[in-house]
Structure 1
C-alpha cells in the first residue's frame, strides 16, 4: 500500500519517526528487568529482515524463539512495533498473547487469526494498527529510510484475561504489574 507513495514524499517525511522512546519497551515497561533473549533464525538482532516477511514479499510472519525465562513464568506476550513509522506513535505490527513459554513460533504462525499451534491450540492474536488480527507486514514508504521493528517479548507471572483480539491499550493495561522480564530483537527494513 505505501509503496505507491512517491519517493520524494517519503524522503520529505524521513525526519518524521515515532521513535524508540515511544515503544512499550521504553515507556510502559521501561523498569521491567531485561533477561529474555528473543531470536529469529531468519535475521540477526539489528539486521535487515528478509523481504519475504514484508509487504514486498509473501508477508508471512517470521519465526521467533525466546530463552532466559525466569522462574514463575506462566505466559509470554509478543508485541512488535515500528519505531520508524511517520506517525506520532509506533505502528503495531503484531500482538500475540497467552503464549506457552516452551513453544516458539514457527514461520507464518502469526500471519492470521485462527492459526493453530502445537497441540491444536489457537494462537491468541490482538489487533494491529490496521485493526486486523495477525501479522501486519512491514510496508515503509519509499524514500523514508530504514525502519526499526522492535520484536518485544515479555514473560508474565500469569495468564491475561482479555477479550478476543485486544488492541495495544487493553494489552498493556492487562500486563501491568505482571511482567517478570523482557527481551527485544530489532529487525530493520527499508523499501528499495
Structure 2
C-alpha cells in the first residue's frame, strides 16, 4: 500500500459536490443510461483507466433512452467523488446534440470527438481523463451523469464554452431530466 494512499484513506470529496446534486441540474423527468463496457456499480476495465496506471484513457461507450422531448442539448459529466480533494474530480465534460442517443468507446477524446459531441475542459486539460486514483487509496467511484438541458449552453462564466472551466459549465445549464450510471476502479 502506498504511504500517500494510506495517509489520505479517509479523505474523499463526497457525493454532495456531484453535478447530480446541483439545484439547476435536478430535472423532474429521468431517463436511462447504460454501457456495453460495464454494468452499473461494476468495475471499469483497464482500457478506460489513465495511461499513467497502464490504461489507454479510452472513454467507455454509453447509450441512453430518449430524453424529454423539449431537450435542447445534452450535457455529459463524469466525476470522481472519491478523489481526496475539496470537490469531486471532473474526468470529462461534453455537450451533445439532443438527437445523439449514444457514444462509442473513445468518443470523448479531445483530439478526435465523434460528430454531435463537443468535448470541453475537464479537471486537467480537455477531453476524457481515465481513472488514476492514488495507489492504496481504495476503490473510487466514477459517476457518469447525463443532463437534458432546456437551452443550449453557448457561454459560461463569461467565456465561450470551449475555454470555460467545468464548474462554470455546470452552473450554466438547466435540466429537464437526467440519467446516471456509476462504475468503480481501484488501482492495483
Q: Give the TM-score taking structure 1 as reference length.
A: 0.86
CA RMSD of aligned residues (A): 1.7
CA distance in 1, matches of 2:24, 2:79: 14
Aligned to 1:21: 16
Report the alpha carbon displacement of residue 65 of structure 1 after superposing the two structures with TM: 1.2
Report the alpha carbon displacement of residue 114 of structure 1 after superposing the two structures with TM: 4.4
Aligned to 1:3: none
CA distance in 1, matches of 2:137, 2:23: 27
Moved over 6 A (4+): none
CA distance in 1, matches of 2:22, 2:149: 17
Equivalence map 1:1-192=2 (5 Å): 7-29=2-24, 31-55=26-50, 56-117=54-115, 123-130=117-124, 132-162=125-155, 163=160, 164-175=162-173, 178-192=174-188
Structure 1 stretches of 5 or more lacking a match? 1-5
Report the alpha carbon displacement of residue 124 of structure 1 after superposing the two structures with TM: 1.0
Q: Give the TM-score taking structure 2 as reference length.
A: 0.88
Report the alpha carbon displacement of residue 100 of structure 1 after superposing the two structures with TM: 3.3
Report the alpha carbon displacement of residue 29 of structure 1 after superposing the two structures with TM: 4.4
Number of residue pairs aligned between Structure 1 and Structure 2: 180
CA distance in 2, matches of 1:101, 1:18: 33
CA distance in 2, matches of 1:63, 1:106: 4
